[in-house]
Amino acid sequence: MPELSYREAVRDALSRAMRDDDDVFIMGEDIAEMGGSMGVTQGMVDEFGPERVRNTPISEMALAGAAIGAAMQGMRPVAEIMYEDFLTLATEQIVNQAAKHRYMSGGQLSVPVTFRTQGGAGWSPGAQHAQQLEAWFVHIPGLKVVFASTPSDVRGLLWSAIYDDNPVVFFEHRTLYGLKEEVPDELEPIPLGQARVHREGEDVTVIATGRLVHEALSAAQEAESDGVSVEVVDPRTLQPLDEEALINSVKKTNRCVVAHEAVTRMGFGAEVASVIQYGAFDWLDAPIERVGAKFAPLPFAPVMEEFVVPHANDVLDAIRRTVGRNGN
Amino acid sequence: MATEIKLPRLGQGMESGTIVKWLKSEGDPVEKGEPLYELDTDKVTQEVEADASGVLLKIAVAEGEVPVGRTIAVIGEQGESVEVADDAQEEGSPARAREEERERGRDASTSRDASEQVTQIQEPQSGNGRIKASPLARRIARERGIDLREVAGTGPEGRVVAEDVERAAATGLPSAPVLAAAPAPTAVPQEVEVEQLSSMRKTIARRLTEAWQAPVFQLGITVDMGRALEVRKRLVELNADGAKPTVSDLLTKVSAMALMRHRAVNALYKGDAIELHPSANIGIAVAIPNGLVVPVIQGCERKTIAEIAAARAELVDRARGGRLQQGDLDGGTFTISNLGMFGIERFIAVLNPPQAAILAVGSTEEKPVAVDGQVVVRPRMELTLTCDHRAIDGATGAQFLGDVKAFLEEPGLAL
């Protein structure tokens, strides 16, 4: 089995889809000769040419609108938004156009577009280049939202996103691009809406997304040395959400921690906590704990940035609170 | 610097105790080593000494059941201000800080004094009568018919969590009140009397329920007590001054000698190991007005029957007076339960875990028996040995019981 980095896995999914299907093409700022600002599309213009690997003007609104138009005409475009912070500029197109046309046309139109984007802290990009804004898009009916945390997941999920007939906002995490994993020779599509249990446990379920999946896994290992058995589950697709898998896990462990890098307040974890309390109310033995970034813009200073975003020790503290006891 | 007085762990397995009363009042001077309060554990009621000198600044728990380690009082300098923290959570822990924050938010306008705060922490019930319990704990309580008001919470802020309810269920805490003993026959039918379980009854329930899980078998044997009764009579004559040796004392001694020859029976079953003990520390089951205790006579194989009688008399006296110390109850390796004085001819005793065996002793009765082809009347006594089969096999128990019989019938063999 080949070992692929998260970056290579994204490229692999794009390239395979483009080889298989002439309707698939990619567009974005500096994605051709430069290979994208994160190097994801490096070399693709050589294989597929500038017609299918299209550089766009520096206008997220224009490129999003063009991708939506192409999708409505029967193509399966994948548009790259260089930083998810810049989704703000494309929001009109994504929220008011892409998400609505299928509904407003009574099903006569479909918009099979994928918006790939990336973000996240951990390398001091500052307040305008490190946010985690996935929750905004989960709030919009008509959009699907994916947040992949491993090379095999990102490859299989991106394939499914491209071939989904609805608009998908596809989040990647900047600090995961170098992460390597062995993946099968054959690309196995991962259906949207299917959670992944990374680790089974008995005492606490940590529901984590993106980078926090890995932080949760190291917290789980640490907790195990204290005798606390932790289950780590990644929903992978935020919309549709695999509620059943999350609820079943908490019914087994009776305790739940929700962890993401995004700001805690109104974060995706709030929705998960609600799903869990409703679906597993009579199984909960402790309040649901939430882990996320502090309510502050992300600082440039590395030490300050580290303070604002959550790490494995924050997850571990939350795990310990859920199993906490007063009596001894 | 004030000293927090915490509920001590007085013996293995002690998880909580009930404060009966305080022997000092707030504001009283206290010397280290002075009796401070009376504590009812699941085994004994005893006075607990102060472990610091100064002034008793605060009694945080006036009476009632408290988990081990909980702060129950503060001793310090006169005039020192006291804050009784909920000590069980680490200070400065995020959960603690968060709870405090919530507390402040909720009661921003009202200040609470320390005692109110303590009450709130100790009791899962908050002021409005609502019990603080997790949804899972509530569901389990509902399913098993357990009254959450009866369950001590060990979660944050005294919240009742699932484990607490499970523990309560295992100790047989009743959902419905326990019925009192039937009223005397002369009395007209009266109202049902409700007796809440004392901590001793809870312990009896918990330990015997636990014992009932063990795979046990019983062995019965009948002993000719002719020689033993002669020996006992002679011992009483020789020990006119001390405690009068009883048949039980004799039995304790010969059991000890037999245990030394069959050490597999002088054993504790510890789940992943069997401990074979070098000395026969024999527990004597003693009925007391509100339950049953098993004080232990240490090293019976080294004691004379007169010494055993003296130790037994002292322990029984203390047990009936409710004055047993924790040390009187620890370290048993074997138990003898004798109901012969009630005319019971034979019975089966329930194991006293982790001990691997318990001997049930019946009454000595005149019985016709065949001796050398003739029917003669002899004093006969029945012994029933209950063995934990996880530790002891049938043949081992049988050899031990055979030796006990041989030593009683021919006491010289025990030498």
B389 in active site: yes
Runs of H (alpha helix) within A189-238: 211-225
Cα–Cα distance measured from residue A254 to residue A276, given in angstroms and rounded to the nearest whole number: 10
Are A284 and B136 a contacting pair at CB < 8 A? yes
Residues B225 and B338 in one domain: yes
Å between A285 CA and nearest CA of chain B? 5
Q: What local confidence, expressed as pLDDT, does residue B103 receive?
A: 46
- Lowest average pLDDT, out of A111-125, A137-151, B277-291, B352-366, goes to B277-291
Are B95 and A284 a contacting pair at CB < 8 A? no
Q: Which of B90, B122, B154 is the last residue of a domain?
A: B122
Q: What local confidence, expressed as pLDDT, does residue B97 receive?
A: 46
Catalytic residue among B34, B389, B398, B409, which? B389
Quick check: is B207 in a domain?
A: no
The arithmetic mean of pLDDT across residues B5-23, rounded, is: 81
Å between B160 CA and nearest CA of chain A? 9
pLDDT > 60? residue B187:
no
User: What DSSP string runs through B41-100?
Assistant: -SS-EEEEE-SS-EEEEEES--SEEEETT-EEEEEE-TT-------TTSPTT-HHHHHHH
Cα–Cα distance measured from residue A231 to residue A206, given in angstroms and rounded to the nearest whole number: 6
ipTM of the prediction: 0.73
The arithmetic mean of pLDDT across residues A58-79, rounded, is: 98
- How does residue B153 score in pLDDT terms, banded at 50, 70 and 90? confident
The arithmetic mean of pLDDT across residues A247-255, rounded, is: 96
Angle at the Cα of A54 from the Cα atoms of A51 and A56, rounded to 5 degrees: 140
Quick check: is B129 in a domain?
A: no
Tens-digit pLDDT profile for residues B75-98: 888 877 776 654 443 344 444 444
**Percent helix / strand / coil, chain B, rounded to 5:** 30, 25, 40
Å between A32 CA and nearest CA of chain B? 49
Catalytic residue among A8, A29, A60, A305, which? A60
Q: What is the tally of structural domains in chain B? A: 3
Residues B281 and B350 in one domain: yes
Quick check: is B208 in a domain?
A: no
- Return the CATH number at B272: 3.30.559.10
Q: What local confidence, expressed as pLDDT, does residue A115 receive?
A: 98
Are A285 and B157 a contacting pair at CB < 8 A? no
Please tell me if residue B156 touches chain A, with a CB cutoff of 8 Å. Answer: yes
Number of H helices, E strands in chain A: 12, 14
For chain A, which domains are there?
3-182 (3.40.50.970), 196-322 (3.40.50.920)
pLDDT > 70? residue B313:
yes
Q: What local confidence, expressed as pLDDT, does residue A246 receive?
A: 98
Residues B244 and B309 in one domain: yes
Please tell me if residue B88 touches chain A, with a CB cutoff of 8 Å. Answer: yes
Q: What's the start-to-end Cα distance of chain B, in Å? A: 61
Q: Which chain A residue has its CA at the smallest distance from B99's CA?
A: A321
Are B69 and A321 a contacting pair at CB < 8 A? no
Are A283 and B139 a contacting pair at CB < 8 A? yes
CB-based burial of residue B34 (10 Å sphere; 0-12 exposed, 13-18 middle, 19+ buried)? middle
**Domain extent at residue B15:** 3-122
Place of tokens 């810049």: A86
Q: Average pLDDT of chain B?
A: 81
In contact, A276 and A225? CB cutoff 8 Å = no
Determine the residue type at B21. Answer: K
pLDDT > 50? residue B174:
no
Share of chain A above pLDDT 70, in %: 99
Residue A301 CB neighbours (<10 A): 10
b (16+ CB within 10 A) / e for A214-253: bbbbebbebbeeeebbbbbbbbbbbbebbbebbbbbbbeb
Which residues of chain A neighbour B163 with C-beta distances below 8 Å?
285
Place of tokens 């995020």: B94
Tens-digit pLDDT profile for residues B99-143: 444 444 444 333 334 333 333 334 444 445 678 899 999 988 888
Q: Which of B180, B202, B224 is the last residue of a domain?
A: B202
Sheet strand arrangement including B45-49: B45-49, B35-40, B16-22, B64-67
Pick from B375, B381, B303: nearest CA to B347:
B381
Nearest to A325 among B15, B134, B155 (CB): B155
Q: Which chain A residue has its CA at the smallest distance from B88's CA?
A: A326
Residue B132 CB neighbours (<10 A): 19
Please tell me if residue A52 touches chain B, with a CB cutoff of 8 Å. Answer: no
- Phi then psi dihedrals of residue A223, to 5 deg: -65, -35
Residue B192 CB neighbours (<10 A): 10
Cα–Cα distance measured from residue A26 to residue A39, given in angstroms and rounded to the nearest whole number: 14
